Structure 1
C-alpha cells in the first residue's frame, strides 16, 4: 500500500476511534508529545485531549473527512490536509455541528506512524 493511502486510512481510523471513545486504540496513534490546537485556539496535550474524550468532557458524535485527504510524505514526516464534518460537545454542552480544515503532522516511529501535531480551523 502506498504511504499516502496508508496515512489516509490511519487518519480515518484515528477519527473513528475518537468518536467511539476507543482510547487505548487512539493512544497508540497519538505521539507522547501530541498537541492539538482547537478551532477556538486552545492547545491541548495528549493527556488533556484523550482524557477529555475518555471522561466525556469532549464528546464527538461525528468526526469524518469530507472528500479526499491530501497527503504529503517526505521521509519520516507526513502532512495531511482535509476538511471535516464534526458534531462535538465540550464541557457538558450539547454536541453541535462544526466544519473545519485540518492540518495534521505525522512522524514515522519504530512502531509506525503517529500523529504529533493537529491544527483545526473552523469554517464560517
Structure 2
C-alpha cells in the first residue's frame, strides 16, 4: 500500500484503533520515535501516548476526519493533512469535543508505513 489511497486507509484505521483502544494494533503503525503535539500544546512520546490510551488516561470517544485527507507523497516520506472532530477525555475529566487540523508525517520502513510525527491544531 504505497499510494495515497493506501495511506488514507492506514490513517483511518489508526484512528479507529485509538478510539477502540486497540493499542497493540496501533503500536505497529506508530514508529518507536513517534511524537505527538496535541491541540493543547502538550508533547507526548509513543510510550506516553499509547500507554495513556491503554490505561484509559487518554480516552478517545470519537476521532474522525471531517474533510478529505490530503496526501503529499515523496518517496519514503508522506505528509497527511485533514480536519477532524475529536471527543476525548483526559485524566478522568469530562470529555471535550473539538475540531482540529492535523499534519501527520509518515515514513516507509521495513515494517511498512509508520507515523513519526503528529501535530494537531485546535480550530477556535
TM-score after normalising by structure 1: 0.98
Gaps of 5+ in 2: none
Unaligned runs of 5+ in 1: none
**Paired position in structure 2 for 1:111:** 111
Partner residue of 1:62? 62
- Take 1:39 and 1:2, find their aligned partners in 2: how far apart are those partners? 29
Residue aligned with 1:68, SS: coil
Paired residues, number: 124
Which residue does 1:50 correspond to in 2? Answer: 50
Runs of 4+ residues deviating >3 angstroms: none
Quote the offset at 1:67 in angstroms.
2.0
Aligned to 1:31: 31
Partner residue in 1 for 2:4 = 4
1:56 shift after superposition: 0.5
Q: What residue is the counterpart of 2:20 in the other structure? A: 20
Structure 2 distance, partners of 1:37, 1:16, is 19
